[in-house]
A and B are shown apart, each in its own frame.
Chain A
Amino acid sequence: MIAKPAQSLTLFLLLAPALLWLGLLIVLPHVEILILSFSERVAPRVYAFGFGNYLEFFTEPLYWRTFARTAFMSILVTALTLVLAFPIALYIARVAQGRLKAMLLLLCLLPFWVSELVRTLGWMILLRETGVISYALRAVGLASQPVELLYNDGAVILGLVYGGLLFMIVPLANALESLEPAVVEAGYDLGGSRWTVLRRIVIPHAMPGIVAGCIIVFMLTVGNFATPVLLGGKNGLWFTEQIYAQFITRFNWPQGAAFGMLLLLLSSAIVWLGLRLTGQSLGTTLKQA
C-alpha cells in the first residue's frame, strides 16, 4: 500500500521524537561504547584496535568475581522479591475490593515519590551502628553493645528487594487479576488442595506476569548503583561500581566501556535463559508488564 505524501509526513513527525530518543540516547551511545571498548592504549594518548580490555576482565580475578557475584546476587534478589511479592499481589488482585485495592497499590507506590537515594539513606538510618534498630535492640536488652547491621550482603539484598518490590507486584497483580474466579473454584471443586490449586492453576496462569516482573526486577538490580554502594560500603562489590571506577576514578574509558558491554551481555543472556527455562515468549511477557 502506498501512503499519500501528507500521510507519511504526519507519520514521520509523530514517530520522530521516539526515533530521535532511541537513536540519539540509546543506539548511538551504545555504538560509541562498543567502539570504545575495543580500543587499547598502546602509548599515552595513542589508541589502537584490540581485545585487551576484555582480556583484562578475564585475567584479573577481582573483575570477573565481582561480575559473577553481581549476577548471583541479582538472581537471589529477584527470587526473594518474587516470593515476597506473590502473596501481596494475590491479596491485591483477588481479595481486596474497590477502594482498598486502590489504597494498597498506592501504598506500594508511595515510597517511589522520594528518590532512590533518599530511600536508601532511610535504610541507613535504620541499620547503622547508631541507628534505630541497633538502639531498639539495646533498649529491650537483646544486645549489650551497638550492633552494625550495615555494610554486609544482607543489607544490600534488603535494600535491593525493597526497591524491586513494586515492579514485581504490579505485573503479578495484573496477571492474577485476569484469572477467572470460577476456574479457581473448579480447582477446589475437583478435589484440589490449596497447594495443588496454587501450583497447577494460579501459578501457570500468572506465569507471564511472573516472568515480566522477574525481568524488570533483575534488570533494575543488576544495573543498580546507589543501593549496593551505600548499604554495602566496601563490601558491596557490585559490578556497576567497577564501571564507575574505570570511567570516573581511573579515567580508563575503554576499560569501563568493555565492562559496560559485558554487563549488557550478562543481563541479556540471563533474561534469554529465563525465558527459555519458563517457556515464555518475550511478546506475551511484555504485554503483562
Chain B
Amino acid sequence: MAASSHTATDLDIVNVTKRFGSHAAVDDVTFSVAPGEFFSILGPSGCGKTTLMRMIAGFEHPTSGDIRIRSKSMIGVPANRRPVNMVFQSLALFPMMSVGENVAYGLTCRGASRAEAEERAGRMLERVGLKGFGERRVTALSGGQRQRVAIARCLVLEPTLVLLDEPLGALDLKLREHMKIELKQLQGTFNTTFAYITHDQSEALVMSDRIAVMNQGRFEQVGSPRELYHSPATPFVASFVGETNRWQGQAASASNGAVAVRLSSGAVVQGQGSGAAQALAFVRPEAVALAQDQSSLANLPNRFEGRVSAVLFDGAASSLLIDTAGFAEPVRAVLPQAGPLAGIEVGAPIHVGWTADAMKVFAA
C-alpha cells in the first residue's frame, strides 16, 4: 500500500513549511497517504500536528510547499471547496440544529434538495447506528453518539479524506477504548481515507495502518505501528511510542552494529545501534527477562542482579521496578502473571537480563 505509485495517493504533502514569525510550527514535512489508509500523526502537544491538519483542511496556509489531494494542488482553494472534511476536537456539532439537520447541512450546502438531503442523512444515521435519532437535539446525545454524528456529518459528503483532530480526547476512558474500535470499523466499512492526529500513542497504535511521529515541526519517523514500536529510528520515537527503559552513557566499543555502552551510573550494557560518544540506550519492559537464579539467564549478554523496589499492578499492563546495581534509575519489567514470580513482593531479590537485539542504542 505504501509503495504504490504517485497517481494512486489521496493526499500528498510536499515540503510543507508553516512559519509563525520566526518559529516554524511545521518544518519541511513530506508524506503521502494512500486511498483507504488510516494514517495517524502522533506527537506531543505543540509539535505542529494541529497546524499541519488545519493546513490540509484549509484553515491555515503553508508558508511554502504544496498540499495535493488526488494530485490536485489545494493551494488557494478555500476550506469549503476542498474534498476534505474534519472531525473537530470539540466535535463542533451545530447546537442550533437537530441531529438530522447536522448531517444534512453539508448536502444542502452543495445544493441538494431538502427532501434528498434528509433522506440521505437518514440513511447515513442508520449506518452509524443512530436510526431514528434525526429529530433529537444534539445536546440530548451521549458522548459516543455525538462522536458518531460528527463522523456521519463528514462521511455523508463522501469526502476523499476525513481529518480527525483528537476527537476522542473528551471521552472517558471506557468509552474511548470502545470508540477506538468503532472508529476503526467505521473506517473499514466506508473505506474512506482517514488522517488522524493524536498525542495518545495507544490510539495511534491501535487504529492506524501507518503512523508519523512528529516532534518540533518535523516528522521523526513514518511507519507501521509495529515498525515504530520495534525499530524506532530516533531516540524520540523510542521514548515517545510505548513504555521503555532509557539510560544515558558513553559508547565504549562498536563493531558491526553491536555497541557496548558504559552507563554514567557504572553498568556496561550490550545493544544494537550507532556508536557515538554520547549514547542513549533503550529497552522495552517486556524484553526484560526475569529469573530467581542467574543460571536461567546465562545465555543473555546483559545480566544484572537487583531487588524489587515497587510492584505497579495494573492488570495486563502491570510492571515491576527493580533497583539494580550500576543503574541510576530502576529497571522496569513486565510483571509475570503466572509462574513462580507471579506473587513477587517488594524487596525480593531478582535477576534481570535482555538480549543485545532488544536494546536500541542511539547517539544522544
Interface residues of A (CB under 8 A from B): 180, 182-183, 185-193, 196, 200-201, 204-205
Residue B96 contacts which of A185, A192, A204 (CB distance < 8 angstroms)?
A204
Chain B residues with CB below 8 A from A196, complex form: 109
**B109→A193 contact, CB < 8 A:** yes
**A191→B92 contact, CB < 8 A:** no
Interface residues of B (CB under 8 A from A): 57-59, 78-81, 84-86, 88-90, 92-97, 105-106, 109-110, 153-154, 157
Kindly list 13 other residue pairs between chains A and B, CB separation below 8 angstroms, not including A186-B94, A190-B80: A180-B92, A182-B88, A182-B92, A183-B94, A185-B88, A186-B86, A187-B105, A189-B57, A190-B153, A190-B157, A191-B106, A193-B80, A204-B96
**A191→B90 contact, CB < 8 A:** no
Question: How far, in whole Å, are A222 and B173 apart by their CA atoms in the complex?
Answer: 57
Given the interface pairs A201-B94, A201-B96, A205-B96, the reply to whether A186 lies near B109 with Cβ below 8 Å is no
**A191→B94 contact, CB < 8 A:** no
Question: How far, in whole Å, are A183 and B85 apart by their CA atoms in the complex?
Answer: 13
Residue A190 contacts which of B58, B59, B85, B95 (CB distance < 8 angstroms)?
B85
Name the distance in Å between A197's Cβ and chain B's nearest Cβ: 8
Name the distance in Å between A288's Cβ and chain B's nearest Cβ: 15
A-B Cβ contacts below 8 A, count: 66
**A191→B110 contact, CB < 8 A:** yes
Question: How far, in whole Å, are A196 and B109 apart by their CA atoms in the complex?
Answer: 7
**B85→A182 contact, CB < 8 A:** no
**A189→B90 contact, CB < 8 A:** no
Chain B residues with CB below 8 A from A190, complex form: 80, 85, 105-106, 109, 153-154, 157
Question: How far, in whole Å, are A186 and B84 apart by their CA atoms in the complex?
Answer: 11
Name the distance in Å between A218's Cβ and chain B's nearest Cβ: 24
Query: Considering residues B79, B90, B110, which has the most beta carbons from chain A within 10 angstroms of its beta carbon?
Result: B79
Name the distance in Å between B67's Cβ and chain A's nearest Cβ: 15
**B109→A185 contact, CB < 8 A:** no
Q: What are 8 A-to-B residue pairs whose CB atoms are below 8 Å? A: A182-B88, A183-B93, A186-B86, A186-B88, A189-B79, A189-B80, A190-B105, A190-B106
**A185→B94 contact, CB < 8 A:** no
**B92→A183 contact, CB < 8 A:** yes
Task: With CB as the reference atom, state the residue of chain B lying closest to A184.
Answer: B92
Chain A residues with CB below 8 A from B84, complex form: 189
Question: How far, in whole Å, are A182 and B106 apart by their CA atoms in the complex?
Answer: 16
Residue B109 contacts which of A182, A183, A191 (CB distance < 8 angstroms)?
A191
Chain B residues with CB below 8 A from A192, complex form: 80, 105-106, 109
Question: How far, in whole Å, are A204 and B88 apart by their CA atoms in the complex?
Answer: 21
Residue B92 contacts which of A186, A193, A200, A204 (CB distance < 8 angstroms)?
A186
Chain A residues with CB below 8 A from B59, complex form: 185, 189
Task: With CB as the reference atom, state the residue of chain A lying closest to B106.
Answer: A190
Chain A residues with CB below 8 A from B106, complex form: 190-192
**B90→A187 contact, CB < 8 A:** no
Query: Considering residues B95, B154, B157, which has the most beta carbons from chain A within 10 angstroms of its beta carbon?
Result: B95
Instruction: Give me the 8 closest cross-chain CB pairs, A-B, nearest first.
Output: A190-B106, A182-B92, A191-B109, A204-B96, A186-B92, A182-B88, A188-B80, A188-B79
Name the distance in Å between B72's Cβ and chain A's nearest Cβ: 17
Task: With CB as the reference atom, state the residue of chain B lying closest to A189.
Answer: B86
Task: With CB as the reference atom, state the residue of chain B lying closest to A196.
Answer: B109
Name the distance in Å between A63's Cβ and chain B's nearest Cβ: 43
Chain B residues with CB below 8 A from A183, complex form: 92-95
Name the distance in Å between A190's Cβ and chain B's nearest Cβ: 4
Question: How far, in whole Å, are A205 and B93 apart by their CA atoms in the complex?
Answer: 13
Name the distance in Å between B155's Cβ and chain A's nearest Cβ: 11
Question: How far, in whole Å, are A192 and B153 apart by their CA atoms in the complex?
Answer: 13
Chain A residues with CB below 8 A from B154, complex form: 190
**A180→B105 contact, CB < 8 A:** no
Given the interface pairs A192-B105, A193-B80, A200-B105, the reply to whether A187 lies near B110 with Cβ below 8 Å is no
Chain A residues with CB below 8 A from B78, complex form: 188
Task: With CB as the reference atom, state the residue of chain B lying closest to A181.
Answer: B92
Question: How far, in whole Å, are A205 and B97 apart by their CA atoms in the complex?
Answer: 10
Name the distance in Å between A281's Cβ and chain B's nearest Cβ: 15
**B79→A185 contact, CB < 8 A:** yes
Name the distance in Å between B218's Cβ and chain A's nearest Cβ: 26
Task: With CB as the reference atom, state the residue of chain B lying closest to A193.
Answer: B80
Name the distance in Å between A38's Cβ and chain B's nearest Cβ: 47
Chain A residues with CB below 8 A from B80, complex form: 188-193
Question: How far, in whole Å, are A204 and B101 apart by their CA atoms in the complex?
Answer: 13
Name the distance in Å between A108's Cβ and chain B's nearest Cβ: 27
Name the distance in Å between A87's Cβ and chain B's nearest Cβ: 20
Chain A residues with CB below 8 A from B92, complex form: 180, 182-183, 185-186
Chain A residues with CB below 8 A from B105, complex form: 187, 190, 192, 200
Question: How far, in whole Å, are A190 and B117 apart by their CA atoms in the complex?
Answer: 14
Task: With CB as the reference atom, state the residue of chain B lying closest to A202.
Answer: B96
Question: How far, in whole Å, are A204 and B92 apart by their CA atoms in the complex?
Answer: 15
**A182→B79 contact, CB < 8 A:** no
Name the distance in Å between B84's Cβ and chain A's nearest Cβ: 8
Question: How far, in whole Å, are A193 and B81 apart by their CA atoms in the complex?
Answer: 9
Name the distance in Å between A110's Cβ and chain B's nearest Cβ: 34
Name the distance in Å between B259's Cβ and chain A's nearest Cβ: 48
Chain A residues with CB below 8 A from B157, complex form: 190-191
Question: How far, in whole Å, are A180 and B110 apart by their CA atoms in the complex?
Answer: 24
Task: With CB as the reference atom, state the residue of chain B lying closest to A182.
Answer: B92
Task: With CB as the reference atom, state the residue of chain A lying closest to B103.
Answer: A190
Question: How far, in whole Å, are A118 and B353 apart by their CA atoms in the complex?
Answer: 90
Task: With CB as the reference atom, state the residue of chain B lying closest to A203.
Answer: B96
Chain B residues with CB below 8 A from A189, complex form: 57-59, 79-80, 84-86
Name the distance in Å between A175's Cβ and chain B's nearest Cβ: 12
Chain B residues with CB below 8 A from A204, complex form: 96-97
Task: With CB as the reference atom, state the residue of chain B lying closest to A183.
Answer: B92
Question: How far, in whole Å, are A201 and B96 apart by their CA atoms in the complex?
Answer: 7
Query: Considering residues A180, A190, A192, which has the most beta carbons from chain B within 10 angstroms of its beta carbon?
Result: A190
Task: With CB as the reference atom, state the residue of chain B lying closest to A186.
Answer: B92
